[in-house]
């Protein structure tokens, strides 16, 4: 997805001369095409993320739209206060691109697992926090937020993933996108784990459970009417995120339900445990209950309890 994202960024940069790309010395074999096409708007600041966020704020103050690029952990956390005091406080169009959320860098070990990036970004009113599910949606987010005055955080999957046909690249701020209809339960998800969730829904179909799937790529600071409408249409909702459950998508769903007095029952699936050792993305997801079987079980158990009642 990151490759498609950089391609899309090159297209945007050809149209929009404000765009700058800044890296803290990561993105080998991915960023060269931008650097070659726009050498005057490409900047490698060295391994110095705090300075990168400060430089980006200064450039944005002079009318540019800098995209700062790093692995999601470093992009979101090493310069977090700089993002807060700079771009967020001054509402400057700095775009933070965090590559490989969740367990994407599984084998790299826990220092590279971005588990709280979405939650901490979402906690700032002035930051637009996005986790597109596939390349087509990632492209779409770029053009939708082109004129958002304040900072935007993009969590972008490292690996190439097929596009989700029923999503068809749709994206609007605040809004969930329904990618599969179903009547028994709704899975609400975000980012690249959406692909797993769609598999879960197929698996449940075979067990006679009809599961809908919606993708909420914008983890908004406040609950939205669009999300409220969607959640109110289901008795049971399961939120799935590849990140800590405190503050992220599950929290947004819970806040929406509570604030609007919805009767919807919610099960929050995400990372609750402490750090894991390294392993493959698949292994680590499974370890934290984010594999298709475990996620399907949540709906199946609900379904049984309904029959029992």
The residue among 38 and 302 lying less far from other proteins, judged by its C-beta, is: 38
In whole angstroms, how close is the CB of 151 to other proteins at the nearest point?
14
User: Based on CB atoms, which residue is closest to other proteins, 40 or 263?
Assistant: 40
Q: 177 is written with which tokens?
A: 């996108």
Pairing label, strands 42-44, 152-156: unpaired
Edge-to-edge strands, sheet with 95-99: 42-44, 19-23, 65-71, 95-99, 152-156, 128-130
Minimum separation from the CB atom of position 87 to other proteins (A): 10
Rounded CA separation 180/212 (Å): 5
Q: Cβ 263 to other proteins, closest distance in Å?
A: 42
Please, what is the Cα angle at 71 between 43 and 30, to 5 degrees? 55
Q: How far is the CB of 120 from other proteins (least distance, A)?
A: 17
Q: Are 241 and 216 in contact (CB under 8 A)?
A: no
CA distance 168 to 136: 7
Q: Which is nearer to other proteins, 27 or 66 (CB)?
A: 66
- How far apart are CB 221 and other proteins at their closest, in Å? 20
Q: Which residues bind other proteins (CB under 8 A)?
A: 40, 43, 45-46, 48, 50-51, 53-64, 66, 81-82, 85-86, 89-90
Of 86 and 101, the one with the shorter C-beta distance to other proteins is 86
In Å, what is the CA distance from 188 to each residue of 89, 238, 295? Answer: 31, 6, 12
Q: Which is nearer to other proteins, 1 or 56 (CB)?
A: 56
Beta bridge partners of 186: 212, 237
Cβ–Cβ < 8 Å for 127, 153: yes
Nearer to other proteins, 53 or 115 (CB): 53
User: Nearer to other proteins by C-beta: 59 or 212?
Assistant: 59
Q: Where are the beta strands (DSSP E) in the chain?
A: 19-23, 42-44, 65-71, 95-99, 128-130, 152-156, 177-180, 185-189, 211-215, 236-244, 265-271
Number of H helices, E strands in the chain: 13, 11
Shortest distance in whole angstroms from residue 14 CB to other proteins: 17
The whole-angstrom separation of Cα 277 and Cα 274 is 10
Helix (H, G, I), strand (E, B) or coil at 95: strand
* Residues paired with residue 42 on neighbouring β-strands, in sequence order: 21
DSSP category for residue 247: S
Question: For other proteins, which is the closer residue by CB, 96 or 215?
Answer: 96
Taking the complex as a whole, how short is the minimal distance between the CB of residue 83 and other proteins, in angstroms? 11
Instruction: DSSP letter for 176, please.
Output: -
Give the pair of three-digit tokens for residue 122.
């979402």
Shortest distance (Å) from residue 43 CB to other proteins: 8
């Amino acid at each position: 997805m990151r490759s498609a994202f950089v391609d899309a960024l090159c297209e945007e940069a050809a149209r929009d001369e404000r765009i700058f790309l800044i890296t803290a010395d990561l993105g080998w074999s991915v960023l060269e095409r931008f650097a070659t096409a726009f050498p005057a708007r490409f900047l490698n600041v060295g391994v110095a993320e705090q300075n990168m966020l400060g430089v980006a704020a200064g450039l944005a103050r002079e009318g540019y739209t800098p995209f700062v690029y790093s692995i999601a952990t470093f992009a979101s956390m090493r310069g977090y206060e700089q993002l807060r005091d700079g771009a967020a406080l001054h509402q400057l169009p700095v775009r933070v691109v965090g590559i490989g959320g969740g367990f994407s860098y599984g084998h790299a070990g826990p220092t590279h697992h971005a588990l709280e990036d979405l939650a901490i970004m979402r906690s700032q009113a002035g930051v637009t926090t996005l986790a597109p599910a596939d390349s087509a949606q990632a492209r779409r987010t770029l053009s939708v937020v082109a004129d958002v005055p304040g900072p935007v955080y993009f969590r972008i999957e490292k690996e190439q993933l097929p596009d989700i046909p029923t999503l068809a690249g749709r994206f609007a701020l605040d809004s969930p996108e329904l990618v599969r209809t179903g009547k028994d339960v709704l899975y609400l998800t975000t980012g690249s784990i959406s692909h797993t969730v769609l598999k879960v829904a197929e698996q449940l179909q075979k067990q006679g459970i009809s599961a809908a799937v919606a993708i909420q790529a914008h983890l908004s600071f406040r609950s939205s009417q669009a999300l409220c409408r969607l959640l109110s249409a289901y008795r049971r909702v399961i939120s799935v995120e590849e990140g800590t459950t405190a503050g992220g998508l599950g929290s947004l769903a819970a806040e929406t339900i509570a604030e609007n007095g919805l009767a919807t029952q919610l099960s929050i699936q995400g990372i609750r445990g402490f750090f894991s050792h390294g392993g493959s993305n698949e292994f680590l997801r499974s370890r934290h209950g984010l594999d298709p079987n475990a996620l399907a079980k949540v709906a199946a158990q609900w379904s049984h309890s309904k029959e029992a009642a």
